[in-house]
């Protein structure tokens, strides 16, 4: 395949997505065959655009918080002070990943009530794991020669962290964020079972009224968002990797 | 000699102090869905049991706080966890007014915090002991046996979650069966289809990117949407393909959930088969070719055993993921533990949610431990081969 083909495909996907969100009604003929003759083919209980933005906002807030906490924790357990926690934190990440998202979501409800909050908590906890794991891998696998050069040139531990370790780890950290965002985008739809305003609402409305068009549009918007964000973050990751490689 | 504190022990001690002294231990609710009244530890238990529990917790915290052998820490953690689980059952009987069948007692935040603190201590002790895979499975079996004995003894019967259970014991085991069937069945199907597909992708390079990219795209579709989307095609098959309905294919229910889980499972299986086969050292393959092995012999005697740990890793990922995702099948009538979770959410009966969520977590955790042990047992052979 030519190099530019994927780029064109992605731009097309982005254009179709924007067009669908701005003017969903013009796509009605495409979805009409999927529904009963008098059922609506386009989600009619709210604006798709605003649901998409709320969905993205939920994912963004959760991922941002998860990134900050996960990176800080990974830094902490790789310093001499926190070294005691390193092995434990690895097994905790391992155990944490066995908790199903629905369970986390449902268990958060008694603590914080229905709505956006339990979704944010579930997404935050889920988002933590890949970012923490990747940051940890990056920080523990830095090239020994570089670390020794940094130590030899008289850098303090803090300078080493800020000027050497973190910049070198950045591509792997971004890869972790990428995984975490894709998981969160899909998991956020389940948040609608506890009354969070996300695109899950569209899918669940479709499941309840046996409306395939609703399920399809909800699912495809989330899928398109995931593909586009995944590719965008991959590009950023490659860019950072090139820069650190060149520096 | 200077006394040395364990840093994790300090964290556990703080958590335990907060959980025991400030947070409430159990909640008494007049019925199953209203807000309840939280009770502190000493109010929830008769004096002897309350002080006894505090005594055990203080001793276990001391074991956590000082640098001692991991075995001592493990015993302390297990003792604290046992004391906690027995006490919460006892608190339920103690708090429930005599003859009142509507009142419900549930664990409150303090109980969960204490449980977390000492589970953390146990996890840390086990991590430090670094037991061989067989012993980890033994720990798991012992823990399962202890929980089983606790449930059989009936000492938890006063707890709200067990009251939710006793009302629907038959349904619980039916849904449990469906859950396991969905998770394991789709895994089995995915391995059956994914392994040959992975081998094919490994051998026929042009196929690889196309197949993996398609499977990657499937992963981006949220599970509830994929479940929903499969309803229509499966409904059509059931209506139009003779015999399909007879073998259980229907538009709603287990079939779309099964197919969706199968589709999600394919990517890890195929991708890891490709990675595992690609990681087989060229020397091993050359040697096999040199002694005159056929393509099929090489596949089964050389490549496959060497790739096994990577493939097992995929199976672990898929199984844990499927057990979690099977809960969502309940939304489309596919059954499983999700039935209780979503019913509970609908009725705001949180103990019913727990009845669905706790077994799911336990099942996922147990399968992760078992498969991790399997992976570790199997990866010794190829490591030895690689270093030789």
- pLDDT, tens digit (0-9, with 9 covering 90-100), for B174-232: 999 999 999 999 999 999 999 999 999 988 888 888 888 888 888 888 888 888 788 77
Domain residue ranges of chain A, discontinuous segments joined by +: 4-246
Interface check A94 vs B, CB under 8 A? yes
Q: ipTM score of the complex?
A: 0.80
Question: C-alpha distances in angstroms, A163 versus A132, A156, A169?
Answer: 20, 10, 11
B196: in domain: yes
B1: in domain: no
Express each pLDDT in B122-134 by its tens digit. Answer: 998 998 888 888 8
Residue tagged 């990797």 (tokens): A241
B52: in domain: yes
B2: in domain: no
B363: in domain: yes
- Hey, are the CB atoms on A110 and B345 less than 8 Å from each other? no
- Same-domain status, B149 and B183: no
CATH superfamily of A4-246: MetI-like (1.10.3720.10)
Domain of B113, CATH number, reads: 1.20.140
- Hey, are the CB atoms on A219 and B323 less than 8 Å from each other? no
User: Between B217, B320, B324, which is nearest A102 by CB?
Assistant: B324
C-alpha gyration radius of chain B:
25
- Best B5, B32, B217, B220 member to test A by mutation, with max A CBs in 10 Å, is B220
- Hey, are the CB atoms on A102 and B338 less than 8 Å from each other? yes
Q: Which of B131, B160, B189 is the last residue of a domain?
A: B160
Q: Distance, in angstroms, between A152 CA and closest chain B CA?
A: 30
- Same-domain status, B75 and B191: no
pLDDT at B293 over 70: yes
- Hey, are the CB atoms on A190 and B224 less than 8 Å from each other? yes
- Same-domain status, B68 and B216: no
- Same-domain status, B276 and B313: yes
B48: in domain: yes
Interface check A219 vs B, CB under 8 A? yes
- Same-domain status, B193 and B44: no
- Same-domain status, B287 and B227: yes
> Which residue range is the domain that position B264 belongs to?
169-387
- Same-domain status, B13 and B43: yes
Q: Which of B120, B141, B160 is the last residue of a domain?
A: B160
Domain of B206, CATH number, reads: 1.10.3720.10
Enumerate residues 6+ apart whose C-beta is below 8 A from B15: B113, B114, B116, B117, B120
Q: Which of B160, B181, B210 is the last residue of a domain?
A: B160
SS (H, E, C) A105-132: HHHHHHHHCCCHHHHHHHHHHHHHHHHH
- Same-domain status, B220 and B352: yes
Pick from A165, A179, A163: nearest CA to A129: A179
Q: Which phi and psi (to 5°) does residue B27 adopt? A: -115, 130
Enumerate residues 6+ apart whose C-beta is below 8 A from A172: A134, A135, A137, A138
Q: Distance, in angstroms, between B301 CA and closest chain A CA?
A: 32
Residue tagged 């919460």 (tokens): B88
Q: Compute the distance between CA of residue B225 and CA of residue B271 in angstroms, rounded to an integer.
A: 23
SS3 B244: coil
Contact by Cβ (8 Å): B233, B250: no
Angle of helix B169-203 relative to helix B254-278, nearest 10 degrees, comes to 40
- Same-domain status, B145 and B189: no
- Same-domain status, B135 and B220: no
B323 band by pLDDT with thresholds 50, 70 and 90:
very high
Q: If chain A, 247 residues long, is cut into consecutive pieces of 10 residues, what is the mean pLDDT of each piece?
A: 75 89 83 77 85 94 94 91 83 81 81 84 88 91 87 88 89 90 89 88 86 87 90 89 71
Token couple for B301: 């005697």
- Same-domain status, B58 and B102: yes
Interface check A190 vs B, CB under 8 A? yes
Domain total for chain B?
Answer: 2
- Same-domain status, B118 and B201: no
B77: in domain: yes
B234: chain A residues, CB-CB within 8 Å: none
């Amino acid at each position: 395949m030519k190099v530019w083909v994927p780029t064109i495909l992605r731009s097309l996907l982005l254009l179709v997505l924007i067009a669908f969100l701005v003017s969903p009604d013009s796509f009605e003929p495409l979805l009409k065959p999927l529904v009963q003759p008098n059922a609506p083919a386009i989600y009619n209980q709210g604006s798709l655009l605003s649901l998409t933005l709320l969905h993205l906002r939920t994912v963004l807030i959760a991922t941002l918080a998860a990134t900050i906490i996960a990176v800080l924790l990974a830094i902490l357990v790789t310093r001499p002070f926190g070294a005691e926690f390193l092995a434990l934190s690895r097994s905790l990440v391992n155990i944490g990943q066995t908790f199903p998202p629905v369970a986390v979501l449902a268990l958060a409800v008694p603590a914080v009530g229905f709505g956006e909050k339990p979704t944010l908590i579930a997404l935050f906890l889920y988002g933590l794991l890949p970012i923490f794991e990747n940051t940890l891998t990056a920080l523990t696998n830095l090239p020994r020669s570089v670390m020794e050069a940094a130590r030899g040139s008289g850098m303090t531990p803090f300078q080493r962290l800020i000027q050497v370790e973190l910049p070198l780890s950045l591509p792997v950290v971004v890869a972790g964020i990428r995984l975490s965002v894709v998981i969160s985008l899909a998991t956020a739809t389940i948040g609608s079972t506890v009354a969070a305003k996300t695109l899950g609402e569209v899918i669940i409305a479709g499941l309840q009224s046996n409306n395939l068009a609703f399920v399809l549009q909800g699912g495809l918007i989330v899928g398109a968002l995931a593909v586009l964000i995944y590719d965008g973050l991959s590009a950023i990751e490659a860019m950072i990797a090139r820069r650190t490689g060149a520096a | 000699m200077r006394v040395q504190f364990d840093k994790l022990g300090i964290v556990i001690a703080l958590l335990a102090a907060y959980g025991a002294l400030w947070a409430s231990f159990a909640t008494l609710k007049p019925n199953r869905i209203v807000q309840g009244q939280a009770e502190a530890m000493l109010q929830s238990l008769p004096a002897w049991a309350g002080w006894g529990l505090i005594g055990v917790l203080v001793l276990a915290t001391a074991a956590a706080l000082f640098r001692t052998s991991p075995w001592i820490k493990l015993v302390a953690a297990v003792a604290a966890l046992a004391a906690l689980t027995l006490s919460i059952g006892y608190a339920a009987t103690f708090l429930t007014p005599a003859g009142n069948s509507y009142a419900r007692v549930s664990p409150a935040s303090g109980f969960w915090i204490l449980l977390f603190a000492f589970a953390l201590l146990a996890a840390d002790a086990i991590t430090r002991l670094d037991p061989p895979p067989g012993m980890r499975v033994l720990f798991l079996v012992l823990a399962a046996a202890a929980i089983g004995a606790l449930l059989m003894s009936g000492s938890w019967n006063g707890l709200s979650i067990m009251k939710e259970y006793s009302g629907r014991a038959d349904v619980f085991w039916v849904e449990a069966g469906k859950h396991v069937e969905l998770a394991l069945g789709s895994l089995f199907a995915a391995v059956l289809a994914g392994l040959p597909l992975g081998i094919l992708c490994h051998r026929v390079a042009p196929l690889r990117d196309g197949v993996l990219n398609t499977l990657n795209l499937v992963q981006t579709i949220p599970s509830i949407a994929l479940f929903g989307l499969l309803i229509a095609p499966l409904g059509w098959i059931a209506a139009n393909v003779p015999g399909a309905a007879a073998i259980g294919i229907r538009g709603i229910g287990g079939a779309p959930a099964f197919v969706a889980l199968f589709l999600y499972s394919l990517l890890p299986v195929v991708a890891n088969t490709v990675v595992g086969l690609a990681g087989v050292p060229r020397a091993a393959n050359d040697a096999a070719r040199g002694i005159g092995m056929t393509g099929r012999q090489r596949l089964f005697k050389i490549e496959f055993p060497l790739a096994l740990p990577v493939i097992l890793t995929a199976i672990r990922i898929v199984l844990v993921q499927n057990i979690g995702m099977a809960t969502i099948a309940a939304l489309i009538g596919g059954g499983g533990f999700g039935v209780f979770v979503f019913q509970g959410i609908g009725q705001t009966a949180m103990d019913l949610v727990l009845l669905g969520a706790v077994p799911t977590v336990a099942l996922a955790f147990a399968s992760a431990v078992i498969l991790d042990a399997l992976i570790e047992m199997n990866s010794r052979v190829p490591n030895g081969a690689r270093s030789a």
